Structure formats: C-alpha cells, structure tokens
C-alpha cells in the first residue's frame, strides 16, 4: 500500500510543480549535452596534451643524455689528441739519433747498476708501412745472476723512457760460475722524418 501511495504522491507533486520539473529535466538534458559535446572532448584534449608533454619531456631527457655523451666523446677525443701530441713531443725520441742516445746510454747504465755484464747490443730501425712511427729494434745481450736480471728488467719497465720489451731469452752461461745469459729484444719508437 505504501508503494501505491508513494507513486500517487510523486504524480501529484509532478502535476503541481510541472514547470519546475520540466525546467530541471531540461537542465539535466542540457548538462548531459554540454558534457558530451564540450567537457568530455576538452578533457580528452587535456589528457592528450599531458601525454604529449610527458613524451616531450622524455624525448628532451634522452636528447640531453645523448648530447652529454657526444660532448664527453668529443672532450675525450680532444684530450686523447692532446695527450698523444704530448706523448709524441715529450716521451718519444724525435729521431733515430735521439732514440739511440736515449737507449744506448740508459741500457748500459741500468745493466751496470743491476750488476750485469753488458755483452753487446745491436740497433736496427724498422720502418712500418702506413705508420707515422719508425721502430728502433734493439737486441741486448747481458750476463749475470737471475736476481740481477730481474732487477734490470724491473728498472727498465719502470724507467721514464719509452722502451718496450718484445722478447726475453734466458740461457745458461758458458762459464762455470753459474751465470746466465739473457737476450732481450727491445723496441722504442720515433716519428718518421720522411713523409
């Protein structure tokens, strides 16, 4: 009975306030149309703009990272070129005579300081095709005890002069003192003077 009574009451209220109910209904329809044709499309545009902004920020961050990497590579390349120029100018001998002077006196002195006998040394420049450097191949023969030879090699490797040990050949000496003979193949480099 309450359900029937409630419906009758609603009908009566609508009949008495028809203008207000029609106005409210029209307002609801207008609001729905404004939402469907204005508010919803604008909210989608705002969402698209926000997504594009996020994409642009990610792209900008990636571009900054790539730029920093490229700048680092360029800086590293520039620094490497500077260090290579310094190496050519200050570390490597300038010519064959400089390479011989650098190694001949230094090797003889190191052998003497290490307690080794300086037997002989041969020097031969080797021109590498396609290279701006010439290699000075040095074959050095020394005799003495094993600890003295180890000391000599250590001193040679830690010396400021640029000398590379290519090969070490160790043999027993001919005399009965127990000395050893070491043959060292060494290299140093200098800039080619001819183009």
CA dist., res. 69 & res. 64, Å (int): 9
CB-CB contact of 118 with 103 (8 Å):
no
CA dist., res. 43 & res. 146, Å (int): 86
Q: Per-block average pLDDT, block size 10, for the chain (195 residues)?
A: 73 81 86 86 80 84 82 74 72 75 83 89 84 86 90 88 87 74 88 65
Report the CATH number of the 96-191 domain.
3.30.70.60
**Per-residue buried b or exposed e for 77-101, using 16+ beta carbons within 10 Å of the residue's own CB:** eeeeeeeeeeeeeeebbeeeeebbe
CB-CB contact of 188 with 140 (8 Å):
no
Q: In angstroms, what CA-CA distances link 147 with 2, 151, 165, 180?
A: 116, 6, 18, 10
pLDDT, position 185: 92
Cα 67 to its chain centre, rounded Å, is 15
pLDDT, position 23: 85
pLDDT, position 93: 75
Q: In angstroms, what CA-CA distances link 90 with 2, 87, 181, 186?
A: 109, 5, 34, 20
Domain extent listing, the chain: 1-91, 96-191
CB-CB contact of 140 with 107 (8 Å):
yes
CB-CB contact of 138 with 156 (8 Å):
no
Q: Give the pairing type, strands 133-144 and 117-127.
A: antiparallel
pTM of the model: 0.54
pLDDT, position 83: 75
């Amino acid at each position: 009975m309450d359900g029937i009574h409630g419906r009758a009451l609603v009908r009566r209220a609508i009949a008495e306030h028809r203008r207000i109910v029609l106005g409210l209904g029209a307002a609801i329809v207008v609001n729905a149309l404004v939402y469907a044709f204005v508010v919803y499309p604008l909210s989608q545009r705002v969402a698209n703009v926000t997504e594009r902004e996020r994409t642009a920020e990610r792209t900008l961050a990636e571009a900054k990272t790539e730029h920093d990497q490229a700048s680092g590579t360029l800086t590293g390349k520039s620094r490497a070129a500077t260090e290579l120029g310094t190496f050519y100018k200050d570390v490597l001998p300038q010519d064959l005579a400089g390479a011989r002077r650098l190694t001949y006196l230094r090797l003889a002195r190191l052998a003497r300081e290490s307690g080794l006998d300086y037997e002989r040394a041969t020097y031969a420049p080797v021109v590498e095709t396609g290279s701006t450097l010439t290699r000075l191949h040095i074959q050095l023969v020394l005799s003495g005890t094993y600890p003295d030879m180890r000391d000599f090699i250590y001193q040679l490797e830690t010396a400021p002069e640029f000398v590379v040990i290519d090969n070490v050949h160790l043999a027993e000496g001919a005399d009965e003192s127990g000395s050893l003979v070491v043959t060292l193949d060494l290299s140093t480099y200098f800039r080619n003077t001819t183009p």
